[in-house]
Amino acid sequence: MSDVSSRPPHTGGRPTPEGSAQLDRHVLEVATALFIRQGYAATSLERIARVAECSKASLYRRYASKEELFRAVVAARGKLLLEAAGAVEASSTDPLLATREICQFFLDFMLRPETLEAYRIVIADGHRIASVVDDMMHTIVEPFVATLSRLIKAAADAGRIHSTDHEETTRVLISLFLGWPLQNTMLGLNKMHDPQMRTRFFERAWQIFISGICVQEK
């Protein structure tokens, strides 16, 4: 994990819009790093404000609670994922190739330390932050699944694959390539840290998926 960047300089007086946006980014970087390092329960807004070198009042103006701040951390990760998936979908002319590219990116994305530890917190503390989990499902997971489902539907409409329930097909695909690598990494076995091993696993999972769903030429 990279070190947290130093606090943006402030020369006094009312902050400019650019300075305020820079402080917003800095607070999110600090909060992400502390949540990863210490966990959700052990991280306080006071500690985040101290490390970010901003006043508690400034932090509370942005986030009324630790839950709100963690929601922003999760949303920032989700934005990266959805923007990447949306860009692939928008530029692709082959729905299956786009599906493959997005899925491989998703596997790498989920195993990044920042994403993995945020996910670990959601699993461990989800009962304490149920609204964050609900938001994550509605604003990140469901749109991401919808993107892949549209691509699966396009491939099915073109007669290239068998799929009627495209959302179910999408969830089967995600489980196939992500289930074991995510479990392995969360248990600390770390076999998927090797990019070549991760790529081999993904290639095999994709091959199994395609062999079971592709329309066979007669």
Q: What span, in angstroms and rounded, lies between the C-alpha atoms of 34 and 15?
A: 25
Average pLDDT of every residue of the chain: 90
How does pLDDT run across 16-54, given as a tens digit for each residue? 767 788 889 999 999 999 998 998 999 999 999 999 999
Residue where a domain terminates, one of 6, 35, 62: 62
Nearest to 59 by CA among 23, 103, 14: 23
CATH number at residue 162: 1.10.357.10
206, 196 contact by CB (below 8 A): no
Structural domain includes residue 57: yes
Length of the chain: 218
pLDDT of residue 126: 87
Tell whether 154 and 188 lie within a shared domain. yes
Q: At what angle do helices 66-91 and 95-110 cross, to 10 degrees?
A: 150
Residues 53-101 pLDDT 10s: 999 998 999 999 999 999 999 999 999 999 999 999 999 999 999 999 9
User: What pLDDT score was predicted for residue 100?
Assistant: 98
Number of structural domains (the chain) is: 2
93 and 168, same domain (yes or no): yes
CATH number of the domain that 37 lies in?
1.10.10.60
Q: What is the reported pLDDT for 127?
A: 87
Is pLDDT at 1 greater than 50 in this prediction? no
* Residue 3 belongs to a domain: no
pLDDT band at 9 (very low <50, low <70, confident <90, very high): very low
Over 70: is that where the pLDDT of 3 sits? no
Q: Assess contact for 53 and 66: CB atoms under 8 A.
A: no
Encoding tokens for residue 161? 């694959």
Regarding pTM above 0.95, the answer is no
Residue 16: predicted pLDDT: 72
pLDDT digit string (tens) for 120-148? 999 988 888 999 999 999 999 999 999 99
pLDDT at 12: 47
Domain that holds residue 93: 74-213
Average pLDDT over residues 103-110: 97
Give the tokens for residue 138: 């509605």
pLDDT higher than threshold 50 for residue 2: no
Q: Are residues 31 and 95 in the same domain?
A: no
Per-residue model confidence as pLDDT tens digits over 179-210: 999 999 988 887 788 899 999 999 999 999 99
